[in-house]
Structure 1
Amino acid sequence: MEKILEVKDLTKKFKQIAVNHISFDVERGNVYGLLGPNGSGKSTTFGMLLSTINPTSGSWKWFGKEGTDTDTLKKIGAIIEQPNFYPYLSAEKNLKIVAEIKGVPEKRIDEVLAVVNLLSRKKDAFRTYSLGMKQRLAIASALLANPEVLILDEPTNGLDPEGIIQIREIISSIAKSGTTIIVASHLLDEIEKICSHVIVLKHGTAIYSGTVDGMSNTKGFFELKSDQLADLKSALESFGIFSSVKEKDQVLIAQIDEDISASELNRKLFEKGIILSLLQKKKESLESQFLELVKQTNA
């Protein structure tokens, strides 16, 4: 798959090291999460990639071209800070100003407002918007020039649950259109729900870069329940395909060592005369994978 962004040994030192030799690639058409707590280097990384912060060392390529020049910036829509719109102007008039600056035809305004579900409110003053609506208008502004890449820094910060869900749905909708998206967040749940890939930052260092699923080396686990719990546990242990079988609140947790489908496991147990009342195959949550990853880097 085509690499849109290639980052190698990117470093920024202020009084202390903010970003420490991070390297990662971004492939076209995916949603990438830059995950880490506040102060982990997410915004500094974005600043360097958009040429608003000078790096101490390292390099990057956008679309195969070194650095970030004016032509490259035209292909990128970014929201790094709080949206800066005129409070007494309508959403439509605010976007007309942005469209004129970017050299974009005004017909794009209704198109992007529809994407962020604000078309019915386009005549309303920006000051009357909720925080979530303001954030959605900022996304509309970033989409005006039909960018190939959309960069969002903490897009759900400060929003209520409804606003968070709306932003997630909009990001997913934009991704389906083929736009590559890079989202910075300190929220594990947000990254897990919208991203296919993740770069995990800790104290400015990338401790993982890859698929969300690939963060864990495990194959997942089964949750099983039966009236024949002791027989079920014995059968699972006899198969030799589980690294551990533990009981919790009358439910057996079987950690998968050799992958097997739920239907195949159900068949094998049925042949032993065991009837299941619960059978669910699950993957570890991103939170548990993240905590395990951090634990390994502390070791």
Structure 2
Amino acid sequence: MEKVLIVKNLTKKFKRVAVNQISFEVQKGNVYGLLGPNGSGKSTTFGMLLSTINPTSGEWYWFGEKGTTPKTLKKIGAIIEQPNFYPYLSAEKNLKIVAKIKGIPYSRIDEVLTLVGLLERKKDAFKTYSLGMKQRLAIASAMINNPQVLILDEPTNGLDPEGIIQIRELIAQIAQKGTTIIVASHLLDEIEKVCSHVIVLKNGNALYCGSVEGMTSSMGYFELKCENNDALINALQTMNLFKKIHIQNEVVIATIENDIAAAELNKKLAQSGIYLSMLQKKKESLESQFLELVKKQ
């Protein structure tokens, strides 16, 4: 698969190390999440990749070309800061200014406003928009040159649940059209819902780079309950199928090491005289995997 971005040992030092020799690759057509708490190096990484911050060391390649050039930037749409438009101008007039700066025909304006669901409000002043609408207009502005890559830095910050859902759906819609997306967020739930790949950052270090599925590739766990949980735990321990067994709120949690179907486990326990009142097989969330990953550092 074609690689639109290759990052090698990218480092930025201010008074402290903000980004520490991170390396990753972005393949065309996927949605990548840059995941980490505030101060983990997400915005600094974007700044270097867009040449607004000079790196201390390391290198990167956009579309096979080293660094970030004016030619490269024409293929990238980015929202790094809060939406910044003229408050008393309409959405249409604000986008005309953007189109003129980027040398894009005005015919693209209605297309991108339709994409973000603002066509009917294009004559309204920017200052009348809700925060979610302002964010969607910013995405329209970033998409006006029909970029191959869209970069979004914390696009759901400050939004209410409805606004978050709208941005999430918009990201999915843009991705379906073949645009590669790199989105930075500190929200695990958002990354898990919209991204195919994730780069986990903590204190400037990349702890994981790969698919979301790969990060959550553990076999999961069972939640079980019966009249005698002590007997249940003893039976589970004899099976050599679980790497960890513990009780949480009167429910036995058995983390799977050697996979087994729920029906087969139920059968084995019944043969041992243990009859379950509860049996659920679950997948570990990205959140639990992230917390486990961070603990190891």
TM-score normalized by the length of structure 1? 0.90
Q: Aligned equivalents of 1:55 and 1:289: distance in 2? A: 30
Indicate the residue corresponding to 2:167 in structure 1.
167
| 2:112 aligned with 1:112 | yes
Residue identity over aligned pairs, in percent, reads 73
Q: Please report how far the alpha carbon of residue 126 of structure 1 lies from its aligned counterpart in structure 2 after TM superposition.
A: 0.5
Q: Which is worse superposed, 220-229 or 176-185?
A: 220-229
TM-score normalized by the length of structure 2? 0.90
Change (3 A) 1:250 1:58: same
Indicate the residue corresponding to 1:221 in structure 2.
221
Indicate the residue corresponding to 1:97 in structure 2.
97
Q: Please report how far the alpha carbon of residue 217 of structure 1 lies from its aligned counterpart in structure 2 after TM superposition.
A: 6.8
Q: Please report how far the alpha carbon of residue 296 of structure 1 lies from its aligned counterpart in structure 2 after TM superposition.
A: 1.0
Indicate the residue corresponding to 1:148 in structure 2.
148
Q: Please give the secondary structure, in 2, of the residue aligned with 1:239.
A: coil
Q: Which amino acid aligns with 1:3?
A: K
Indicate the residue corresponding to 1:194 in structure 2.
194
Q: Which is worse superposed, 280-289 or 131-140?
A: 280-289
Paired residue total: 297
Unmatched segments (≥5 aa) in structure 1: none
Change (3 A) 1:224 1:111: farther
Change (3 A) 1:72 1:271: farther
Q: Aligned equivalents of 1:291 and 1:229: distance in 2? A: 28
Give the conservation status (yes or no) of the 8 Å contact 2:216–2:285: no
| 2:246 aligned with 1:242 | no
Indicate the residue corresponding to 1:253 in structure 2.
253
Indicate the residue corresponding to 1:139 in structure 2.
139
Indicate the residue corresponding to 2:62 in structure 1.
62
Indicate the residue corresponding to 1:183 in structure 2.
183
Indicate the residue corresponding to 2:76 in structure 1.
76
| 2:21 aligned with 1:21 | yes
Change (3 A) 1:207 1:105: same
Q: Which amino acid aligns with 2:225?
A: K
Q: Please give the secondary structure, in 1, of the residue aligned with 2:25.
A: strand
Q: Which amino acid aligns with 1:246?
A: H
Deviations along 1:64-109, whole A, 9 cap, x unmatched? 1111112211111100112221111211221222223223333322
Q: Please report how far the alpha carbon of residue 234 of structure 1 lies from its aligned counterpart in structure 2 after TM superposition.
A: 4.4
Change (3 A) 1:76 1:253: same
Q: Aligned equivalents of 2:98 and 2:129: distance in 1? A: 18
Change (3 A) 1:107 1:275: farther
Q: Aligned equivalents of 2:12 and 2:214: distance in 1? A: 28
Q: Which amino acid aligns with 1:143?
A: M
Q: Aligned equivalents of 1:14 and 1:231: distance in 2? A: 57
Q: Please report how far the alpha carbon of residue 240 of structure 1 lies from its aligned counterpart in structure 2 after TM superposition.
A: 2.1
Deviations along 1:136-167, whole A, 9 cap, x unmatched? 11011111111111100111112222222221
Change (3 A) 1:278 1:180: farther
Q: Please report how far the alpha carbon of residue 5 of structure 1 lies from its aligned counterpart in structure 2 after TM superposition.
A: 0.7
Change (3 A) 1:226 1:104: farther
Counting only pairs closer than 5 Å after superposition, residues 268-283 of structure 1 correspond to structure 2 as 268-269=268-269, 276-283=276-283
Q: Which amino acid aligns with 2:222?
A: F
Q: Aligned equivalents of 2:102 and 2:156: distance in 1? A: 25
RMSD, matched Cα = 2.2
